[in-house]
Structure formats: structure tokens, C-alpha cells
Amino acid sequence: FIHQEKSIKTEIKTLIQTLWKTEEMRPQRPEVTMEIQNGLYYFRTSLFQSIPKTYRRLSNALVRHYGEELHDTLLREHALIRFGSWIGGDRDGNPYVTPELTMHAMRLQQETILQEYIDRTSSLIGDLTHSRSFCLPSDAFEEKLEADEENYNRYLEENYPHFSHAPYRRKLWIMLHRLRATLMQVQQALQDESLVEEQPHAYRNEEEFLEDLLLIHESLTGHGDEEAADARLLDLIMLTRTFGFFLSRLDIRQESTVHSDAVAEIVSQAGIDDYAGLDESERCSVLGRLIEEGPDIDREQLSRETREVIAVFDVIAALRERVSPEAIGQYVISMTHCASHILELMWLASLCRLAGYRDNSWYCHIRISPLFETIDDLSHVEQVMTRLLDEPVYRELLKASGNVQEIMLGYSDSCKDGGILASGWNLYEAQQKIIRIARAHDIDCRLFHGRGGTLGRGGGPTHDAILSQPAGTVHGQIKFTEQGEVLSDKYSNQETAVYELSMGITGLLKASRGEGK
């Protein structure tokens, strides 16, 4: 022990000496790709291990208090925790976040989560060594295994004769190679999106992979191996439900005047020459009509800046198709001052077939989150949201996308604008107004809290922050940011990550009951 203590002290001394002689600031401006990799670091370092542990702690608590019947339903049918990111999607004031970079960010996220699935599936091949001599897999499993061997065996890099009596290892071996084929497509896309060769044995989406995992779980449980089913296999099921094939939903953010300028230029092709001169009511009316009509535009006649604005929606549509419909989260409009700012974005999305009226019905594949971030904006939130939700076209589109309106509240800018006290009070009042409006219009509302690390930016313990929300404003869901300066403190190791996630869930459960304690 004396030798071990000396070794540890020497290591600590070495680290301290090295830190003293390390530059405090980066010698070069960090690139966006470096920021993306830094965000992915926390998933690899702790979150992939912390998520299953958090779910198990929650499940054990529910079973302890309410009975065994809650165990399976919670863990296998619901993802209580979802992650989002706007690293690579936040172009508000950052000219380096291009449409191509947004695509690249999502591909890096895909690469990260697929590699995790490959590692865990490979480990399961060594875990689930059950022999047909001692167990009887389900008929559904046997049918799927037979079909997979017929469809995919010719694509395997090598055969598996040593798995002849191990059905789960055979199935997992095929799954492993399908995951590798999926990863190969993603890595090709990282080099050049135009050079992607579709692999016929790759997984098309996360649902196919999850279906295979659940099939194995059901079969194991059917012949009395619940313990094996609920071990590392269940961890992988929980990760798949949480992260899909996209890891975290990528939010897009842009400042409202960028959209307004683009719309003013584009609508001139529809014969509206003085869009900037229209009042708010006229703008909403014009935009509603244009969304319903869905006019075509000539992109070649537009400026480079406007073409780039539209290109972002092209990327959103491509990611929905190539990665997952859930790959893109919200499109956040910073400095939202009026209802027309949201309708402008919706019309721009309609130009890329992300929203509109087709085949006698409305459709909407984009979720918009207006950001109210100054004291003045917070004081006008009731007027803006009432005007927006009174617009028939927007209500139809909202209904088509799930009838949920997310609204982001900015803690940092409101504090800079009016100070901590004014910021806190106006945010408190704004939340109550938003919920009243949502109830009056019969829609669900999720509040997105743009909290920073310091108290001046809305920071503080997550559990206390959730419980401090106005009564009746948290209805089983809440969304908040974790800024860069606190990521390391909360998520750099498994223990603190599990604690943070557990306290967040606990606060959500308490706040959803309408109690502040």
C-alpha cells in the first residue's frame, strides 16, 4: 500500500506540474468540428454507461414503491431521457456553420452511436452462448433467424460454423455485420455525401435494429433466462430507445432578421415587391396564403445569402430521409419579436417540401421554437403567441406535426438586458402566460429553458431549477440547455452523470405534480 500511495502522489504531482506549464488559452481559434468532437466526448466517456444505470435506478425505485408490473413497461417502451445538440446547427452569428457542416455534424453523431452499438453487440456474442441443446428459442425468433440467414449470409465477411448450436450468437453475428455495413455508409458520407454506396444488408433505421434486440429479449425470457435478457442486452435496448441511429436531435438556430431578409427577396418572385413595408397583420395573411399555395421559386435568381438560407432546409429534409425522421429537433428562431417571424420560417420550410398542403391534407415535418430572450420580448410573449395560434394555417400545421408547441426562454440575454431580478420575474410571468395561451388553444406546450452555468445565466442545481418553475408549467416534460462550462462538472464521469440525470428526473416528477417541494 505504501508503494501504491507513493505512485499515486507522483502521478498527481506530474499532472499539476504539467498543468502549470500549459497555456491557459488555445493558441488558435477552435473550429466548429473541434466543438462537435468535444460534445461527443461526453457521450463516449460517461453517458453511454450512465443512461442504463439511471434507468435501472428509476426502475428499482418504481418497483420498490408501486410493484413489479411497472418494471418492464417503463424500460422497454419509453425513453424518458432524450438528448439534443445545436453544435453544428447553431448558425446565429457564426458564419462557419454552413449547411455542409450541419450534415457533417449529424454524420459524426451517427458514427459515434453506431460504433457503440457495434462494440456492445460484439460483447453480447460472448454473453448469449445458449445452446439449442438446453433451450428452445421462440418461433418468431427462429423464423427471423432463418430469413436473415437466407438474406444476409452472402454478405458476411466470414462464416460462423462454431456457432452452429448457438442461435443467439448466430443472430447477433448477422446483426453485427449489418451494423458495420451501416457504419460504412456513414463513413463514406463523412468523406463525400455523393459517394455513398448503399449496402443492401445495412440497417435502414433504428427500428429494425431495435426489433432484432427485442426479439432476442422476448425469446430469452420465454425459456426462463430473464436474468440474461435483463443484463447487457437490456442496456443496449435502453440505449437504442434513447439514442436511435442519430445520438442526439440536432437543433438548428438562426436569427429572425436572416429569415425576414430572405423572405423579402423570395416573395418578390410571387409579385409582392414591398414585403418589408407590410404591417404585421398583412405579413401574416400573405405568408399564410403562400404556405397554402406552395409556389415554386427560381433559386438561380436569388442572392448567395438567400440560397444558403434555403440550403439549410434542404439539409433538414436530407437528414430526415437519410438518417431518421427524429434526427432534427427544433428550429430555434432567436430574437423572435412577432408572429410573422415564425410564419416566415414555416414558409421557407414549405419551399423544401417540409410543410404545406398536399393531397387535400396538411403536413408538417419541421418543429419551430421561437426564442424570447429580452425583457421586452418576454413582456410581449402573450401578444405574439396569441396572434400566431389564431392563424388558421399555423394551427393546421401544428396539428399535423403533433399539436405540440415548444417555446424557448433565454435566461442569459434577459439577465444582460434587465439584471437577475428583472430577468427571473419576467421569465416567471412569461411561463404562466404561455401555459394559459396553450390551454386556451387546446395545444400541448413544452418550455425550453436556455440556462447557462452561472446564476446570472439561469444556472444552478438542476433539481432546484426544475422545482422553481411556476406551478402548472411542467407537464411531464421539460427541456433545458447544459452550456459548455458545466458539461465537464456534470458529465465527465459516470457517477456525476448518473446523479445529475437522476436529480433531473426526480425534479421533473415532483414538478409535474404541481408541487414546489
Query: What percentage of the chain exceeds 90 in pLDDT?
Result: 69
Please say whether the dihedral angle defined by the alpha carbons of residues 122, 128, 133 and 138, taken in this order, is positive or negative.
negative
DSSP designation for 153? G
Nearest to 254 by CA among 334, 181, 189: 334
What's the burial of 304, exposed, middle or buried (CB within 10 Å: 0-12/13-18/19+)? Answer: exposed
Query: What percentage of the chain exceeds 70 in pLDDT?
Result: 95
Q: What is the mean pLDDT of residues 331-351?
A: 96
Average predicted confidence (pLDDT) for the chain: 91
Instruction: Kindly state the helix (H) or strand (E) to which residue 255 belongs, with its residue range.
Output: strand 249-255
pLDDT band at 25 (very low <50, low <70, confident <90, very high): confident
Q: What are phi and psi of 505, to 5 degrees?
A: -65, -40
pLDDT at 313: 97
pLDDT band at 423 (very low <50, low <70, confident <90, very high): confident
pLDDT band at 516 (very low <50, low <70, confident <90, very high): very low
b vs e for 104-139, b when ≥16 Cβ sit within 10 Å of the residue's Cβ?
A: bbbbbbbbbbbebbbebbeebbeebebeeeeeebbe
How many angstroms separate the CA atoms of 384 and 177, rounded?
Answer: 52
pLDDT at residue 515 greater than cutoff 50: no
> What is the reported pTM?
0.91
In this structure, are residues 246 and 327 in contact, taking their beta carbons and an 8 Å threshold?
A: yes
- Cα 215–chain centre separation: 26
Q: In what order do the strands lie in the sheet with 479-480?
A: 84-85, 249-255, 328-334, 367-372, 404-410, 444-450, 479-480
Place of cell 453517458: 47
